[in-house]
Amino acid sequence: MRKFKINVNGNQYEVEVEEVTNGETSIKKSAKTLQSTSKVQKSPSQSKPESKPSKENKEVVIPTGAETIEAPMPGTILKVNTKQGDTVKEGQVLAILEAMKMENEIVSPKDGKIVDIAVTEGTSVNTGDKLIIVE
């Protein structure tokens, strides 16, 4: 068994590592040793990062003749550039969707008026979720 000192985010830890060969360890540990090596003290600065409460997508009513813009991939809405009632042109950027650390523009498929916006900034969406309705 070998001992190492490891720095993680400015905190130093002492760890014990044993070599495993063909699925078996070369040194058998006692229960007392397991308990002492499994204890890791966390400082208050290492507590779990606070997670944002997930926002639920609201129910959307689609009027006749309106076109629904759906999420092309799972991600998070970074910005919504329009509001309900705005007039938009084809190709105008309506929202920014972050997926895999890339910002993707969600554009209007046609000229029209924003009937409803089903998401807000910070909302997580899945592929196919309704984002915006253009009439």
Largest CA distance in the chain: 72
Enter the pTM of the model. 0.53
- What amino acid is encoded at 30 in this protein? S
CB 97 within 8 A of CB 126: no
75 by Cβ neighbours in 10 Å (0-12 / 13-18 / 19+) ranks as buried
| Domain locations along the chain | 2-46, 67-134
- Say whether 69 sits in a helix, a strand or coil: strand
pLDDT of residue 35: 39
Cite the DSSP H helix spans in 6-134. 31-38
d(CA 30, CA 135) in angstroms, rounded, equals 71
Query: For each of the chain's 135 residues, which pLDDT tens digit applies?
Result: 788 888 888 888 888 877 777 766 655 444 333 334 444 455 444 444 444 444 444 555 666 778 999 999 999 999 999 999 999 999 999 999 999 989 999 999 999 999 999 999 999 999 999 999 998
Q: What number does CATH give the domain 67-134?
A: 2.40.50.100
